[in-house]
Amino acid sequence: MLSFQMSEEEDFEPRAEPPPPPTAPARGELRSDGVLVPAEGDASTLRNKGAFGETTPEGRLRLSWLETCYLTEAGRLVVERSGKVVGFRDLVRLAHRGRGDFEVLYVVYRDLRQRGYVVEEGASPIDFRVHPRGGRPGKTTTGTWVSAVSERAPFVLREILDRVHKVQGVRKQLLLGVVDEESDLTYYAAREVELHGSVVAQGAPAKADLLADRALVPDEAEARALAESGFFGKFLGRRLQLSLLETAYLLDGGHLEVRSARNDRPVGLAAVIRRARQMQPDFDLRFRVYRDLRSRGVVVKTGFKYGTHFRAYEGDPEKIHARYLVHSLPADYRGGWPEVSRAVRLAHGVKKHLVLASCGESIAYVHLERVRP
């Protein structure tokens, strides 16, 4: 399995592959179904030094378009057709006709190869299966599977989660290689995580006054008991202020009696939720994730200052830092990769992990992290 490190640089250059020894390049023949290396010596060299291609029963070597272009660019292969040399430009054009996103695939394939990895091609959306350095087919297993993605492609949460399930189901790592418009490459590791904490929120009976967009627990003793029961709210002097999320959660659990600050009439859960929806159209989405995290023993606080929905603590927030930034999204969410890049970068900058909460029939948590192979 590959070992990854967090990327600490704004941009990084791939580790250059050592230049091959000064030997004559192998010769390949361009045919209607691809490129074939007919000489057994050339085929053996390419197979032994890089595990390129597939060996035919006759001892020849069949190369894919990615392998052909890479070896040609590296000066290790000369491709001919009818006795004439086919240059790199024409090879790329031929490959592009077969697959419109060839240039994106090639950037990722080339980068992984230059970093010293043996790469087996897969079927979209899992484009590559990567062996550890020094590994090769038949001797090592592939620990990481890679999808090549254009920066301009939409970020579709459901598709990412499907890939994560497919890869984690066979105990592999998923790496997303995102190619920007200048062909720079950023890698993101994606995996589903189970968030758990150690705080069992008991709740304590209290009375609160509902203001415009929050509630206030005026009795000091009730305020302290409620706060200590699950790290709810924030003190304003001796009074406890609750967010609408906390108010709805505690009211739903039977731990809070809410009255209108205007007329002292009782306010039920439905009325609190209606008020919250008016101010936050995505309140229902946030409330689902808030309740789910609380049920897992996680202390949840606002993530506004970090541009996300929640900060998630695994224990006492007065003793430990929030480990995760959690953003609630519908399961069918479609966005842009620049948004994802910004969120991951910000989370890393404050030493936290970005988690996307996918809200469908159930809630799944997807952890995204920028990595460096």
Active-site residues, by number, are 313, 321, 352
Tokens 């020849």, located at residue: 60
10 Å CB burial of residue 66 (0-12, 13-18, 19+) is buried
Cα–Cα distance for residue pair 22/74, rounded to 1 Å: 12
Alpha carbon distances (Å) from 173 to 126, 223, 266: 11, 46, 52
DSSP state letters, 246-290: HHHHHHHTT-EEEEETTT--B--HHHHHHHHHHH-TTHHHHHHHH
197's tokens: 């904490």
How many Cα neighbours within 13 Å face the side chain of 172? 21
Residue 40 sits at φ, ψ, to 5 deg, of -60, -35
Beta strands in 142-255 (DSSP E): 144-150, 154-156, 173-179, 185-193, 206-210, 214-217, 234-236, 239-243
| Residues 6+ away with beta carbon under 8 Å from 281 | none
Bridge partners (DSSP) of residue 190 are 174, 368
| Residues 6+ away with beta carbon under 8 Å from 232 | 201, 226, 240, 242, 246, 250
By DSSP bridging, strand 353-359 and strand 324-330 are parallel
Cα–Cα distance for residue pair 44/58, rounded to 1 Å: 12
Bridge partners (DSSP) of residue 188 are 176, 370
Q: Is residue 283 within 8 Å of 359, Cβ to Cβ? A: no
Q: Is residue 292 within 8 Å of 310, Cβ to Cβ? A: no
